[in-house]
Amino acid sequence: MPKDFLCLTDWNKEELDRIFALTADLKARQKRAEPHRLLEGKTLAMIFEKSSTRTRVSFEVGMFQLGGHALFLHSGTTQMGRGEPIKDTGRVMARYCDGIMIRTFSQEAVEELAHWSKVPVINGLTDLYHPCQLMADLFTVIEHKGGYEGLTFAWIGDGNNMANSWINAAAVFGFRLQVATPEGYRPDEEVMRRAAELGADVSYTSDPLAAAEGADVLSTDVWASMGQEDEAEKRRRAFAGYQLNRPVLEAAADDAIVLHCLPAHRGEEITDEVIESKQSVVFDEAENRLHVQKAIMATLMG
């Protein structure tokens, strides 16, 4: 089993399925108000270079429920913000804490931190990947569909860190993925190449309706992610039509479910009608960040 949780393709299907099984167990224990203090007395350092709502709250609450403590560190108020090398931060934090979660821009920074840290490092988000969110998404699918095997997934929108993570997931778990992005906004070339080498069943198109055709799960994200605010107007023009709306939902399977990692810009990448529909499981998905990340922390730090 890997020491860190940086990218889905670092893990195999059996290892990730065990995390899903632990997620289900921990969620059930919480619903029964049954203590599950698997990380009693342990501490997680949470380093944020990108601001957050769900990531911070879910990791902090998760550590508390597991019996441990989470320490919030904003890079601008630490020595990292004054130019301390990542390798120095990683070596020092590992002497204080039992694990590190980092939410930042560069995947290379996360990998460097993990290289120098003797304790597990969890990728809370980078511009390239968002593996914890993808695990929460898939666990939500398992809850609502009974599993992911044999399903067709559709990604419609930006070829961003979530699109890259869905492609990695298709390579690891073996489900079919249909990706629709505008020209010039495709997923990362290296991610697509590596997935193809791994035999992933992924197709790419610029037609949202073609990607949605027969899909059991529809997913999207904002058109302009954090750090891309200056491109917002250009992206609105490029992504016009790449929206989860009624026609796209009707192209999918009759019992398709809808995912969105939030925050949502209603009226842009998804309509209010769709996100509030009976087919939307968006808020179950958001809750499952807590349960999945508890399982990841317990697996790595327990």
Residues with catalytic function:
103, 130, 133, 221, 261, 289
Q: Is 225 annotated as a binding residue?
A: yes
Q: Is 130 annotated as a binding residue?
A: yes
Q: Is 162 annotated as a binding residue?
A: no
Q: Which tokens hold the place of 224?
A: 């302009």
Q: Is 54 annotated as a binding residue?
A: yes
Q: Is 261 annotated as a binding residue?
A: yes
Q: Which tokens hold the place of 257?
A: 């479910």
The angle at the Cα of 114, spanning 111 to 119, to the nearest 5 degrees, equals 165
Nearest C-alpha neighbor of 252 from the set 224, 218, 285, 300: 218
Q: Is 272 annotated as a binding residue?
A: no
Q: Is 135 annotated as a binding residue?
A: no
Q: Which tokens hold the place of 40?
A: 């009693």
Residues 174, 55 contacting (CB under 8 angstroms): no
Measured CA to CA in angstroms, residue 1 lies from 4, 120, 203, 235 at distances of 9, 12, 30, 40
Q: Is 262 annotated as a binding residue?
A: yes
Rounded-to-integer distance, Cα 84 and Cα 11, Å: 30
Measured CA to CA in angstroms, residue 136 lies from 78, 131, 250, 291, 295 at distances of 30, 9, 25, 8, 11
Q: Is 103 annotated as a binding residue?
A: yes
Q: Is 52 annotated as a binding residue?
A: yes
Q: Is 132 annotated as a binding residue?
A: yes
Q: Is 75 annotated as a binding residue?
A: no
- Quote the DSSP letter at residue 257: E
Q: Is 289 annotated as a binding residue?
A: yes
Residue 160 CB: number of other CB atoms within 10 A? 23
Residues 172, 164 contacting (CB under 8 angstroms): no
Residue 288 identity = N
Binding site: which residues? 52-55, 79, 103, 130-133, 161, 221, 225-226, 261-262, 289
Residues annotated within the binding site for L-ornithine are 161, 221, 225-226
From the annotation, which residues make up the binding site for carbamoyl phosphate? 52-55, 79, 103, 130-133, 261-262, 289
